[in-house]
Amino acid sequence: MSTFDFLVEIGTEELPPKTLKTLSDAFAAQCADQLQTSNIAFDSIVAYAAPRRLALWVKGLGAAQPDEAFERKGPAAKAAYDKEGNPSRAALGFAGSCGVAFADLETIDTPKGEWLVYRGVKTGAATIDLLPQLVQTSLDNLPIAKRMRWSSNRFEFVRPLQWLVMLADSQVIPCSMMGIEAGNHTRGHRFHSTGTLTISHPAAYESTLLDQGHVIASFEKRRDVIRAEAQRVAAGKGVTVVIPDGLLDEVTGLNEWPVALIAQFEERFLSVPSEALVSSMEDHQKYFHTVDAAGAMQPYFVFIANIESKDPSAVIAGNEKVIRPRLADAAFFWDTDKSMPLADRVARLDSVMFQKDLGTTGDKRRRLEQTAAAIATKIGGNPEWAARAAQLAKADLVTDMVGEFPELQGIAGSYYALHDGEADEVAQGIREHYLPAGAGDPLPESLTGMAVAMADRLDNLTGLFGIGQPPTGTRDPFALRRAALGLLRILVEKRIDLDIGELLDIALAQHDFDADTTATTRQQVTEYLLDRFGAWYADDGIAAEVIQSVRFNHITKPMDFDLRVKAVHAFSQLPEAAALAAANKRVGNLLGKVSLADLPGSVDTALLSESAEIQLSKDIAACLAATAPLVAAHAYTDCLSTLATLRAAVDTFFDDVMVMAEDPAVRNNRLALLKQLRDAFLQVADISHLS
């Protein structure tokens, strides 16, 4: 089959730099999906993304859809002829609807008799004819949070379209999209290129933009250039540039022709906490800060210009001028805030509303003190430090530094606490109580930080659920999902063996809820927390049935829950798992038909007569003896591996033994034996949920 290369370039006003990579990846994925759905073959897709363009080069694209054989069923054969033996009106009508003569129809045998059919071949559509709609559908499906309209058009896209390139090899595909006619002309760099550039072939796209347009079209290549050049100019000053991945992607999305330059600020600003300086440079100016070999911040920063200036010193001086007032503000706030002890700001929290039904941030602070101290006691921490950290944790919200740099809450407070002479762990607890802020974020390292972090999340969960404002599918203004996952991560990853109910009782005791509200909230929050495990484990490739098997036992200790889930997941991969899961399900069904109270509490070995049941009884007894210490040590994986050795005995038992014997004593004894088998597995989970 003949093939061709296809190029599409969507030329726009400057695209959002933070989402440029996401848009590019989604465009390529959507195009691939559309081609596969349309049954059009292709070899590969190369994606390009720069501030003013999204482009795809599809290599080896099939010239047409494959022809498709089809069969169309008509009337029954007995209705195909009239009394004279001529084709009936129904048969002729069917042939006409198929666009063929009656003689072209065939007869097939079916369970209901013979029928007329028409077998034909549908010619595949030309790919060129399908591409405009395919591209439009791909663009419509991009993950764009807010779409724009421009001029008097009703078209919507992330930014206004300026030009459109669509090529099949060297041929322009005639079409229009969002009011723009397709052509073979693109545009280069705003300042280093003038006029339009002609793309002769998809394979020439990248080199044409690079050589004639001063544009590095590949997002990945541009990112590599920025990283390498930033490191080069930093090394020239004897420092190391810090390049966070998120900032690197954003800067890559801002520049078409990146030029790395290094500038300097006054060393006096190094007395300001480094986080404030980094925030000023990275978040506000998109600069990369530098450090020395020991990781200490240095008075240099690297920035990326989107132009190759004839006078780089002027560009450097301009950027130094821009950053100076930002750093001066940070230094001013730092010096001003230090003039008042952090503890003296605590009273101001009574004038800051947290939530109208839950009171002020001051009310929240008082609840946190009690909860954090109680949790610290349970995890082996210092309750006095935890209470003090909780008392001061929110005080930096009323400082000038956090007012200007909200992202420094907790961080600023820790610096002020150290300046005021607070214990190091109190300051660390203040800094860490916001951790983890999101998925993949680090966890608190200190016991004080863990105690205050858990107290803060528990207060939000119990408070909002208690006043009837849990998160919904579309609204979660207090980020309770994130709070729940953060709490679970601390308990699981820090191996804190505490029960959810135990923690909720501490937090609920700080609210003024009545007994019914307290009980309802406790139950709702417990279920909400356990439900969060579903998404957590799904990301790790653990099936929902594994989680359900553990939830059967009503485990409410997250650390223990996690150990059991991982053990059941490992067990589910064993060759014995399927048979034992089916056996447990069968046992559950048998036990469900009788009253468990009527069964003997233990197996009477004197009533065991069949060799298969005698062997199973011996094997279960041996496994129970072996697994008891394993369960006590939370070694659930080893426990289930031991129980997996029962498979042969269980299979033989069900093959050779009639469980529901006529003799009631024998029947109940065998059921008691099966209950013993089921209970052995229930030490860990109900594996009958496994498929």
- In tens, the pLDDT along 479-509 reads 999 999 999 999 999 999 999 999 999 999 9
Q: How many percent of the chain have pLDDT more than 90?
A: 77
SS3 at position 88: coil
Strand order in the sheet with 259-264: 240-241, 288-291, 297-305, 259-264
Question: Nearest Cα to 11, choosing from 61, 71, 69, 54?
Answer: 54
Q: Per residue in 258-288, pLDDT tens?
A: 999 999 999 999 999 999 999 999 988 999 9
Question: Nearest Cα to 239, choosing from 265, 214, 211?
Answer: 265
Q: Using CA atoms, how far apart are residues 210 and 526, in angstroms rounded to an integer?
A: 58
Tokens 């001529």 appear where?
Answer: 86
Classify residue 286 as exposed, middle or buried by CB count within 10 Å of its CB (0-12, 13-18, 19+): middle
Q: Using CA atoms, how far apart are residues 104 and 233, in angstroms rounded to an integer?
A: 78
The dihedral over CA atoms of 368, 371, 377, 379, expressed in degrees to the nearest 10, equals: -90
Amino acid present at 321? K
Q: Using CA atoms, how far apart are residues 506 and 501, in angstroms rounded to an integer?
A: 9
Strand order in the sheet with 53-62: 44-50, 53-62, 3-12, 161-168, 171-172
Q: Using CA atoms, how far apart are residues 379 and 468, in angstroms rounded to an integer?
A: 30
Instruction: Pick the range with the lowest mean pLDDT from 66-75, 305-314, 434-443, 602-611.
Output: 66-75
Structure tokens at 609: 């007569």
State residue 154's pLDDT score.
85
Structure tokens at 334: 């730092």
**Average pLDDT, stretch 525-553?**
91
Does pLDDT of 222 surpass 80? yes
Q: Using CA atoms, how far apart are residues 496 and 499, in angstroms rounded to an integer?
A: 9
Q: Which CATH superfamily is domain 3-65+126-213 in?
A: ACT domain (3.30.70.260)
Does pLDDT of 96 surpass 90? no
Does pLDDT of 1 surpass 70? no
Tokens 């990781």 appear where?
Answer: 295
634 pLDDT tier (thresholds 50, 70, 90): very high
Q: Using CA atoms, how far apart are residues 187 and 288, in angstroms rounded to an integer?
A: 30
Q: Per residue in 121-172, pLDDT tens?
A: 777 789 999 999 999 999 999 999 889 998 887 888 999 999 999 999 999 9
**Average pLDDT, stretch 220-224?**
97
SS3 at position 327: helix
Q: Given this structure, which CATH class describes domain 562-689?
A: mainly alpha
CA angle, corner 218, sides to 55 and 196, nearest 5? 60
Answer for the pair 566, 547: CB distance below 8 angstroms, yes or no: no
53 pLDDT tier (thresholds 50, 70, 90): very high
Tokens 């070995």 appear where?
Answer: 605
State residue 244's pLDDT score.
95
Backbone angles phi, psi at 300, to 5 degrees: -125, 150
Choose from 114-118, 361-365, 575-579, 674-678 the range with maximum mean pLDDT: 361-365
Domain coordinates in residue numbering, the chain: 3-65+126-213, 68-122, 219-338, 355-541, 562-689
Q: Per residue in 547-566, pLDDT tens?
A: 999 999 999 999 999 999 99
State residue 74's pLDDT score.
77
Q: Which residues of 635-666 are buried (b: 16+ CB within 10 A; e: fewer)?
A: bbbbbbbbbbebbebbbbbbeebebebeeeeb
Does pLDDT of 440 surpass 90? no
Between the CA of residue 357 and those of 148, 463, 513, 648, what are the distances in Å?
39, 9, 11, 61
State residue 97's pLDDT score.
82
Classify residue 369 as exposed, middle or buried by CB count within 10 Å of its CB (0-12, 13-18, 19+): buried
State residue 600's pLDDT score.
85
Question: Which H or E element spans position 236?
Answer: none
State residue 519's pLDDT score.
96
Q: Using CA atoms, how far apart are residues 582 and 642, in angstroms rounded to an integer?
A: 18
Mean of the per-residue pLDDT values for the chain? 92
Q: How many percent of the chain have pLDDT more than 70?
A: 100
| C-beta contacts of 399-402 below 8 A and 24+ residues apart | 399/333, 399/337, 399/345, 400/332, 400/333, 400/336, 400/337, 401/276, 401/330, 401/333, 401/334, 401/337
State residue 623's pLDDT score.
94
Answer whether 355-541 and 562-689 agree in fold: no
pTM of the predicted model as reported, rounded to 2 decimal places: 0.81
Name the CATH topology of 355-541: Hypothetical protein af1432 (1.10.3210)
Q: Using CA atoms, how far apart are residues 184 and 527, in angstroms rounded to an integer?
A: 59
Write the DSSP string, 61-81. EESBPPPEEEEEEEEEGGGSB
Q: Which residues of 160-192 are buried (b: 16+ CB within 10 A; e: fewer)?
A: bbebbbbbbeeeebebebbebebbbbbbbbbee
Beta bridge partners of 240: 291
Question: Nearest Cα to 151, choosing from 161, 137, 141, 139?
Answer: 161
Q: Using CA atoms, how far apart are residues 90 and 401, in angstroms rounded to an integer?
A: 86
Between the CA of residue 30 and those of 26, 64, 616, what are the distances in Å?
6, 19, 56
Q: Using CA atoms, how far apart are residues 281 and 330, in angstroms rounded to an integer?
A: 11
Answer for the pair 685, 549: CB distance below 8 angstroms, yes or no: yes
Backbone angles phi, psi at 469, to 5 degrees: -125, 60
First to last CA, the chain: 44
Query: Residue 442, preceding bond cis, omega within 30 degrees?
Result: no
- Taking the mean position of all CA atoms in its chain, how far away is CA 636? 28
Q: Which residues of 445-471 are buried (b: 16+ CB within 10 A; e: fewer)?
A: ebbbbbbbbbbbbbbbbbbbbbbebbb
**Average pLDDT, stretch 312-336?**
95
Q: Per residue in 370-396, pLDDT tens?
A: 999 999 999 999 999 999 999 999 999
Beta bridge partners of 183: 165
